[in-house]
Amino acid sequence: MSPRRNRPKDTGSSGRSPEGDSSDRYGGWQSTESWQGEEWSVRHVAGASAQGKTYRCPGCDQLIPSGVPHVVAWPEHSGVDERRHWHKACWNAKDRRTSRVQRSRNAPRF
């Protein structure tokens, strides 16, 4: 007896395109948002796909620990070098945050 399939064979019924959507690979979904006068690609990353990796959030300058769901955003016109990993709350509050980050004297500069 073979194990039961938890996913349907036809991905068209879920509303996603069957042509290998790369956002499904990371356990999240991707959208486009307008911010600071340009279009940004925003991908929501599930915590399971972020195991073993830590990132520094540009919104609060704090570490995003391994396994924590977060957001990856980059300007659409740029490449993968411009991707930044944000806490979900920091990305949602990006318009209310100042652009100048204040660090203590002994804080590392990344």
pTM: 0.62
Give 13-50 as a DSSP string. Answer: GGTS-TTT-HHHHTTS-EEEEEETTEEEEEEEE-GGGG
Q: Distance (Å, rounded) from C-alpha 42 to C-alpha 26?
A: 13
pLDDT tens over the chain, length 110 residues: 666 766 666 554 444 443 444 444 455 678 888 888 888 899 998 878 778 888 999 988 899 998 899 999 999 888 778 899 999 999 999 888 655 556 666 766 65
The pLDDT score that the predictor gives to residue 2 is 64
